[in-house]
Amino acid sequence: MKEKKNPVPHKGKVDIDRDILLSIINLATKEINGVESLTNQYLPWYKKIVKPKSEGVTIKFDANSTLKVDVYIKVYIGYSVPDVAYRVQENIKNSLGTMVGLKPGKINVHVYGVVCDKPEEGE
């Protein structure tokens, strides 16, 4: 018996809310061991008041509709900063790909500090 091919029609478009993308990127970043937190230290004081949801993440689409992601983090002491940054990039790329089918063009990770206090086990 012949299997029927089920072609997916490519009609219409899907809109994804900006807050959904920010949430996916935020969660993907926080999943990585060594990331203490996302930070808004790069923002001027007045933008911290206006954009509380962005919490350490900026996203932009360029003219070719390619997504550019900037993530601003603090890392725990004792972790390799290049290793943590690489794992954050990979996790964001994989999360966006699997959850919403988006392939980002650039993912920039900015480390804004190293935190000396590690969390206690059981916190």
| Count of the separate structural domains present in the chain | 1
CATH number of the domain where residue 59 is located = 3.30.70.1350
* Nearest residue to 95 via CA among 15, 38, 34, 21: 21
This prediction's pTM: 0.77
Dihedral sign of CA atoms 56, 87, 78, 80 in order: negative
Domain with 82, as residue range(s), is 18-115
The answer to whether residue 121 is domain-embedded is: no
83 in any annotated domain:
yes
The tens digit of pLDDT for each residue in 46-81 reads 565 665 556 888 899 888 888 999 999 999 999 999
Residue 9 lies in a domain: no
DSSP 103: -
pLDDT at 89: 96
The verdict on residue 97 lying in a domain is yes
Whether residue 3 is contained in a domain is answered as no
Q: How far apart are CA 63 and CA 55, in angstroms?
A: 25
Distance CA 39, CA 44 (A): 12
Residue 48 covered by a domain: yes
